[in-house]
Structure 1
Amino acid sequence: MKYFLLLIIPFTLFANLNYAFNHNEEVKILDSFDIDAPFLFDKTLNEMRNRNSQIYRSKHFFQAMDDAYIYIPEIKKILSQHNIPAEFLYLAMAESNFSNRAYSKKRAAGLWQFMPRTGKSFGLKIDEYVDERRDPIKSTKAAAKYLSSLHERFGKWYLAAIAYNCGGGRLSKGIKEAKTDDLSVLLNPKKKYLPRESRLYIRKILALALIGYDDKFLLESEYAHLLNRASAFSMSTIQLPSGESLRRFSKTIDLPLGTLKKLNRHLKYDFVPPYKEDYEVYIPYVKLSEFKQKYKRDSVKNIYKVHVVSNGDNLSYIGKKYGVPYKVIMDFNNLKHTRLKLRQKLVIPIDLTSKTTKIKTKHYYLVKKGDTLESISKAHRVSIQNIKKQNKLRGSLIKVGERLKLYE
């Protein structure tokens, strides 16, 4: 028996030390939200934590962390710059599961689930070309400003988190009715000082944070690499000119178009918005050097417009309106037939220069006034015979507005 005790004592001490370490870490997490340690024994919180541990072990938690690893470091950096606890990263997970594609029935969108009005009030642009609520960086900066303003108003981080969910006015009403801002009182399920969703919301954020900071939980999973993966800045911000094609750009720096789109979900179309100023686009940090070496701004800028189909519209009319052959509109929008739907959106490439324009995405040339096969041949270094062969031309006659294929 004596030898058995000698063997088991070290394991018991290790278990106690490990428990003490985990407990201290958990207390720190609660403290970051200005919540007292006894809340760790909240029955609903622990039920949610245990339930989520099982759910997230196989599904959402790790997959969400894995998908978002490239911009999690920057999110943490922005929160730190605004003196917001790093644990508020899990507010974004509670809101959207770290998906910048997330969209709610109430029209909230993006990582931080901003409503249109709130997003605009914190500087996010929402127009025909972009929805910056889906921009992982700009939306995080907006969320940081919003959370900072809520913390300044209510004085405690758990109150800022609750207000983010139900609104400052609703929280103020609850505090007034409860005559205190004490969390255990506000969460009373019988008194209902706060909506049920908000009472569960703060617990959900805490449960996710407790799981996320549980190294043992991570190490026991197939996603142990997440402990180190997001320790370095992984995304770079670059400036692209008005109207730049994402497809052309992705080929230039040898980056899969799908990856580029994933990082830039805020762009509604496959091109940079036609604003006067350059626009910020995100690429993986590992591609920054290649961007600096290979990317050259096109001397001919193609500006795009979006046409919303209304009653009486057809492709021929729309083409004449913008001075673009209807076949180009079909190619640009991947239309297989000429039938249009009411309120359908069509991307129209508009040449704002008087110079000849080559549409790089499809390798076509739009014939301008004064053009001849000879002038086009010299400008694009393609033989007249080649142009004739590709476009099945018998003679040398070409018409203004005609679309010529230049490269097979």
Structure 2
Amino acid sequence: MKKIIILLLLGGVSILGGCVSQQSLDEMPPMPAADPSVDDVNLANGMDEPAPESNDSPTQNAPTEDLWVRMRQGFALDLSVQNDRIRIQRDWYARHPQYFMRVTTRAERYLDYIVDQAQERNMPLELALLPMVESAFDPFAYSHGRASGPWQFIPSTGDHFGMKRTWWQDQRRDIIQSTNSALTYLQQLSERFDGDWLLALAAYNAGGGTVSRAIRRNEEAGRPTDFWHLDLPRETSAYVPKLLAIAQIVANPADYNVALHPIPNQPYFATVNTGGQIDLAQAAKLASISVEELYLLNPSFNRWATSPDGPHRLLVPVDKADGFRTRLASLPKDQRMQWARYQIRPGDSLIAIARQYRTTPQVLRSINHLNGNTIIAGRTLLIPGPSASGNSYTLSESQRLAQTQARGSEGRQRVNYTVRSGDTLWDIARRNNVKVSQLAKWNNMAPRDSLHIGQSLAIWTHGTQVASNNADNPNMIRKVHYAVRNGDSLYAIADRFNVSVNDITNWNDSVSRKRYLQPGQRLTLYVDIRQTN
């Protein structure tokens, strides 16, 4: 039932459009809405979720220091507007008060900061509620339009606003950077439309060009050019009423029998300068908080550690900040991260080593100050790794993917598929009789995301016979003639075909560990095509 509620809430919502650096902000394209990536109750992370008293008003005895009181004082949009488009959205929320409570509970970590930034810019504080429309305040929300984070930036728009996307982190999920970028974008759109915030919101959703063209059509037809009279995409026509409906409920929750999670009118988090890269499990221990709480405040991090490239800061609960700073200052630098030392062997390749240690060649090059992929036998590589077990980093990219892949559909059977050269999501979905949208959702992806060889996909299928390269079939060993290419090594070829170096030398009398392979040299391999990368 929770998933149905989430989909109803977010249905018809579009998200921040994208641009490349040479594009006008007015031409950012429309994008579809995000589904929260992890369970909406778990994201509350143990925060109290009190049900409204049956005999009392939800806002009875609300303290003056409550953040909702402060927000209402800064509301500046016309919330007296009443029409069917707003009523439909508002009635839905009124019928699902517990969902409203869950989302406002989740918002507690972030809302004070968003309100502060909007107030400093003299913006209507209703805009601080926009992440409720965009992502339901799920910082890990990822849409099938490739948008990410609480404000739902697509990659090109994130690039425009300087939000880095690396193996280590995706700054579109960073609370500080994404909030500041979203508010800047909204201000630019407001200026574009002469201070009309409803048109700015519509353009945030559909793109400025779409709104401008709708205005021109109405001008030519002699019709009014306010938001309510424009012919806009269906999702945009519902998007602005959705925000207004939420604001009307926040303004007068008792009128709709909706309770808001009480949020103190004070900062939830403080920023701590870490001075460099640090393991997140180590940081959580120093801050006396759970690793999950650290990820929820710092959702941009994909791995077990902060990015070596910065920014070198962590958000921690306000009451933990001083203790964290003190303990961090006394931590020896060599204990911030755990490192493996790998001695390069003849025939090794950077790609094969990276795969073995579940990292990337780019990371190894950066850490070891390598200019290219050339490595020399006998030398040592430093390889970063987690200080705790993998499942300790509960909201890392790999753990979130594992949680998503484990949640299938009732009556379906899970199979694992290893991506091969030439595969596309469309081909894999068609062979397994599932929808591309389903396959993408099961694997925390968007339908247009690219695949990489060796990637593991979860497929939940109805059938017992699955067109997967991991299906149980004893006759999947094939004899393969392989021509050695420039840069190949025994270890790289073994890794590519999921065989051992010993197997290759046993199958080929002319091959030895002591001799380099030559381009054009032909090898005979016996490959299980279910396991081929």
% of aligned pairs identical? 26
Query: Is residue 200 of structure 1 aligned with residue 233 of structure 2?
Result: no
Does the 8 A contact of 2:278 with 2:337 survive in 1?
A: yes
Shift of 1:243: 2.4
Which structure's CA Rg is the greater one?
Answer: 1
Counterpart for residue 168 of structure 1: 208
Change in CA separation of 1:149 and 1:238 when aligned onto 2, cut-off 3 Å = same
Alpha-carbon RMSD across the aligned residues, in angstroms, is 3.6
Counterpart for residue 239 of structure 1: 273
Q: For structure 1, which segment, 156-165 or 253-262, has the greater mean C-alpha deviation from structure 2 after superposition?
A: 253-262
Query: Is residue 250 of structure 1 aligned with residue 284 of structure 2?
Result: yes
Equivalences for residues 6-405 of structure 1 within 5 A: 32-33=76-77, 35=78, 37=80, 39-40=81-82, 42-55=83-96, 57-59=97-99, 61-155=100-194, 156-179=196-219, 180-186=224-230, 193-216=231-254, 223=259, 225-226=261-262, 229-275=263-309, 279-296=312-329, 297-300=331-334, 302=337, 315=356, 323=380, 334=390, 342=453
Does the 8 A contact of 2:152 with 2:172 survive in 1?
A: yes
Change in CA separation of 1:344 and 1:225 when aligned onto 2, cut-off 3 Å = closer
Does the 8 A contact of 1:107 with 1:116 survive in 2?
A: yes
Amino acid in the other structure paired with 1:243: Q
Change in CA separation of 1:213 and 1:290 when aligned onto 2, cut-off 3 Å = same
- Normalised by the length of structure 1, the TM-score is 0.64
Amino acid in the other structure paired with 2:306: V
Does the 8 A contact of 1:147 with 1:164 survive in 2?
A: yes
Does the 8 A contact of 1:32 with 1:157 survive in 2?
A: no
Amino acid in the other structure paired with 1:196: R
Amino acid in the other structure paired with 1:107: R
Shift of 1:334: 4.9
Give a deviation string over 1:75-128, Cα, whole Å, max 9, x none. Answer: 100111122111012221111101111110010111111111111212222222
Q: Distance in 2 between matches of 1:36 and 1:210?
A: 6
Amino acid in the other structure paired with 1:234: Y
Shift of 1:211: 1.3
Counterpart for residue 368 of structure 1: none
Per the alignment, in what secondary structure is the counterpart of residue 199 of structure 2? helix
Counterpart for residue 518 of structure 2: none
Give a deviation string over 1:165-216, Cα, whole Å, max 9, x none. Answer: 0000011001001114223311xxxxxx211111111101111111122241
Give a deviation string over 1:308-338, Cα, whole Å, max 9, x none. Answer: 9957976399998783599x96988859xxx
Change in CA separation of 1:286 and 1:202 when aligned onto 2, cut-off 3 Å = same
- Normalised by the length of structure 2, the TM-score is 0.50
Per the alignment, in what secondary structure is the counterpart of residue 106 of structure 2? helix
Which one scores higher on RCO, CA 8 angstroms, separation ≥ 6? 2
Q: Distance in 1 between matches of 2:136 and 2:291?
A: 23
Change in CA separation of 1:85 and 1:302 when aligned onto 2, cut-off 3 Å = same
Does the 8 A contact of 1:250 with 1:260 survive in 2?
A: yes
Shift of 1:72: 0.6
Shift of 1:242: 2.5
Per the alignment, in what secondary structure is the counterpart of residue 69 of structure 1? helix
Shift of 1:241: 3.0
Shift of 1:149: 0.3
Does the 8 A contact of 2:74 with 2:124 survive in 1?
A: no
Change in CA separation of 1:311 and 1:52 when aligned onto 2, cut-off 3 Å = same
Does the 8 A contact of 1:122 with 1:145 survive in 2?
A: no
Amino acid in the other structure paired with 1:46: R
Does the 8 A contact of 1:112 with 1:139 survive in 2?
A: yes
Does the 8 A contact of 1:239 with 1:280 survive in 2?
A: yes
